[in-house]
Amino acid sequence: MKVLGFNINVSKNKNDGYDHLRNHPNRIELAKDINGKKSLIIDIKQISQQLTQNEIKDWRSANQIALDFENPKRLNLLKIYYDAMLDEHLLGAIRNRKMKTLRRAFKIVDENGEENEEATKLLRSRWFKKFINLTLDSIFYGHSLIQFGDIIREGKLRFKELKLVPREHVIPEHHVIIKEIMDEAKDGIDYETPPFSDWCIAVGEPSDLGLLLPVSKSAISKKYALQFWDQFAEIFGMPIRVGKTSSRDKKDIDRVETMLEDMGSAAWGLFPEGTELQIIESTKGDAFNVYDKRVDRANKEMSKAILGQTMTMDNGSSKSQAQVHENVSDDIAEDDADLVLDTVNDDLIPFLIKHGFPLKETDTLAWDDTYEYTPKEMKDIEEMILEYFDVAPAYFNNKYRIDIIGKKASASSATNNGITGPVEVKKK
């Protein structure tokens, strides 16, 4: 069985200019259906992501195209998203938010709340972690179509891989996949019908464009502020070398220019005798207040949109305020966790049952929120229990790998030499 998805092998003509795509690492082929029918293959021409400067007007235009009722296209908007995700602060905020869900322990429980340990072990796999990760990505990018690969039945039952269907080729409003990124929705193939529906799970609302839609505006402004700041530093951050010559001989002028050029990377100029050079800086404020404050504002706006607050990524003014901000972040993380639960329970578990995984229709995913005590808390609890109750030696044997063979013959409290606590008393 081949992996569900798409083949980037765009042409059989080896002189067509697409040789670099034929062995592309993202080459994906549509899987055979469960009855072993012939493999369906769709050719998709993927273009390289162009790292271009995106103005706010480009953002507005891309948003409008993505909202077109008859033939919505997200290509231009996705280019802006990919560019925005190069911002370190935005990338860190998204990772910060996702990790609160990705790090949570989980279990599969039946209708009585009892854990199905076999099913829980099956889902503790790489493919399931990636499924949760892609599910969370839909919060930021919008609707996502996840495709499953081969089922490996030797050893631990699992999927060989999971991949995201390239968003540029999905028109979720019409639940179709298009062969060419410029194709219209009417030319696409419905992924809600077999065999696509047998190997794909869609996450998110079809019309959802994700949190990166508003956030990318701040990322664009920040990028330009940093670029202008670099230009400012290049001009005013280093001294300008000025050369003057009264010679009109081109060879002399070229020789002086070469010397100025070879002296370093700072700006330089060569002027005739008597030329006046004047550089006027703004008196309204320094570069720090102009550029750094704009960058800081953009970072805070992105943090608010992604995390709901700013203090978990930036320095806070007080512990109480930081706690309030952390609580807001936790509330958002709970919403993300609910999205994962709904997606797994409503879509993934029925999908797994159809493909022969040992689960029941009444099985559901639940977060394992069992509190884990710190070593100090555990020590205090054990001392309290030992003070009032007898404990089976097997508990300490298993926990500390200490072979306890029995109780001491006698023990008492001693205070000699400043020693307190139980000690062994030996008779003469």
pLDDT tens-digit readout, 155-173: 899 999 999 999 999 999 9
Please say if the pLDDT value at position 240 is more than 50: yes
- Whether the CB-CB separation of 201 and 351 falls below 8 Å is answered with yes
Nearest to 303 by CA among 204, 209, 222: 222
Q: How confident is the model at residue 369 (pLDDT cuts 50, 70, 90)?
A: confident
Q: What is the mean pLDDT of residues 173-183?
A: 91
Please say if the pLDDT value at position 202 is more than 90: yes
Overall pTM surpassing 0.75 (yes/no): no
Please say if the pLDDT value at position 281 is more than 60: no
Q: How confident is the model at residue 245 (pLDDT cuts 50, 70, 90)?
A: low
Domain presence at residue 251: yes
- pLDDT tens digits for range 79-114: 999 999 999 999 999 999 999 999 999 999 999 989
Distance CA 109, CA 81 (A): 38
Q: How confident is the model at residue 386 (pLDDT cuts 50, 70, 90)?
A: confident
251, 278, 305: which is the final residue of a domain?
278
Considering only 87-91, 182-186, 292-296, 374-378, which range has the smallest mean pLDDT? 374-378
- Whether the CB-CB separation of 212 and 141 falls below 8 Å is answered with yes
Domain presence at residue 412: yes
Distance CA 167, CA 78 (A): 8
Q: How confident is the model at residue 270 (pLDDT cuts 50, 70, 90)?
A: low
Q: How confident is the model at residue 260 (pLDDT cuts 50, 70, 90)?
A: low
pLDDT value at position 223?
A: 87
Domain presence at residue 367: no
pLDDT value at position 239?
A: 63
Q: How confident is the model at residue 237 (pLDDT cuts 50, 70, 90)?
A: low
Domain presence at residue 390: yes
Write the CA distances from 337 to 104, 208, 332, integer angstroms. 9, 18, 9
Domain presence at residue 95: no
pLDDT value at position 320?
A: 55
Domain presence at residue 416: yes
pLDDT value at position 397?
A: 79
Q: Which domain holds residue 391?
A: 375-424
DSSP state of 144: E
253, 278, 303: which is the final residue of a domain?
278
Q: How confident is the model at residue 278 (pLDDT cuts 50, 70, 90)?
A: low
For helices 88-102 and 126-141, what crossing angle results, to 10°? Answer: 130
Domain presence at residue 195: no
Domain presence at residue 386: yes
The total domain count for the chain is 2
Instruction: Respond yes or no on whether the N-terminal peptide bond of residue 195 is cis (omega within 30° of 0).
Output: yes
